[in-house]
Amino acid sequence: MTASTAKAQRFREFKMPDVGEGLTEAEILKWYVQPGDTVTDGQVVCEVETAKAAVELPIPYDGVVHELNFGEGVTVDVGTVIISVDTDPGAGPATAPAPAPEPQDAAKDEEEAEPQGRQAVLVGYGAAPSSTKRRARKPQAGVPAQPEPVSAALQAELNGRTAPAPAAAVAPVANGAAAGAVGRPLAKPPVRKLAKDLGIDLATIAPTGPDGIITREDVHAAAAPAAAPAPAEVPGPAPVAEAVVPAGVVDAAARERRVPVKGVRKATAQAMVSSAFTAPHVTEFITVDVTRTMKLVQELKQDPDMAGLRVNPLLLVAKAFLVAIRRHPEVNAAWDEARQEIVYKDYVNLGIAAATPRGLIVPNIKDAGAKTLPQLAGELGDLVATAREGKTSPAAMTGGTVTITNVGVFGVDTGTPILNPGESAILAFGAVKLQPWVHKGKVKARQVTTLALSFDHRLIDGELGSKLLADVAAVLERPKRLITWG
């Protein structure tokens, strides 16, 4: 075993995994360890936020933390090394190994790497290997080949590959300039593309990221229009007077703030736009007397079988929705555009729209239609609590078939909800209010709510959607139908 191989086995690098199938980046929210801390296999070392959820990442090695490559609040591409661990700290001074040089053949124009599988990680899917082939850079005529500067190793890491070790130490640059300044500016490929699209020369940007890395914010700042220079003095009869802002008028820009679109907000925006412009929405409304359902809620709270469980009107609305779907199973379907097929599903994964400090998320209860009322109450309570704590897993937010959104908790009567992508229907449950209502031939004060059902008109015709909504209302008006229909 060579010395370089031994060092590579000693210092293990952990890359940002794909914690949700298809994700490309994640933001480091918090580090739980620092360089010099001892870690064990399976220990959580950081928390990251993806477009779907906040996820804690465990390290798959035993040892001592050697280096944290990024700070908190930094968005990192999947497959980028975020932490390195010294797995044999007793072997001597902790000196990181120099990357092994890559074999090069001057007679070839392309470098070919052997395909590798995904990296083994404890959370997610690891980083998929890159199949990109890069052409060898040709030296310019009359310019002697220079060893790659030290900073190139970091740039190579940003690009998701391993940089060759420098053949020899770079000689000091004249006038005391740093040797690393010879190389091109450090930036991730997406940042380079952004700069190219905006027509910004990276060499003119002062980096603010760790280790001199140019960030997206740096590029946007460079692209922002600079303050207009003072006009040159022009001979004339009189100087042009500057525009005077009237007293009491405040510049609008001074009262605005901009927040980067990322994480849950970015995913929600993309999902809503995709759904609104892909699935033809139809929304129907119905107002219903739910006085009997509200009485049943109070009775269930005293039932020993429901002890310790959260019982509320949303629970019975969810059960009524599931009973109605069982009576009309054709609504529980999905549209497969690629294969031009309708996929009918014999299970119901019931999504519950939850407002959290991180934004709107829609976790779902798997096989909700097969659960008893106490089981449904338990899972509904766990789902809401986990969502509010920001601990919902990506798996809990995939595979939904229909959704309920409870806008009534905000005092709203109803709305026109947008479908969660890939689902066929979403039911909005409005506020329950005491209103005059004709009951048994007399006007009485009754507890009334409004339901709104949006559905994908490619899958659900108007007749079928109307029957589904009418059945939900019928169950809530006379909850004994939970027994006769269920």
**The one catalytic residue among 281, 328, 439, 457:** 457
354's enclosing H/E stretch is strand 354-356
434's enclosing H/E stretch is strand 433-439
Nearest alpha carbon to residue 137 among 145, 129, 128? 145
d(CA 397, CA 399): 7
Read off φ and ψ for residue 192, nearest 5 degrees. -60, -40
Question: Active-site residue 328, yes or no?
Answer: no
Residue 251, amino acid:
D
d(CA 78, CA 17): 6
Q: Two tokens at 322?
A: 């599931």
Contacts (Cβ under 8 Å, ≥6 apart) of 235: none
d(CA 486, CA 475): 10
Note whether 57 and 10 are within 8 A (CB): no
Q: Where are the alpha helices (DSSP H) in 159-262?
A: 189-198, 216-223
Nearest alpha carbon to residue 56 among 35, 29, 75, 25? 29
Q: Tell me the three state secondary structure of residue 446.
A: strand
Enumerate the active-site residues: 457
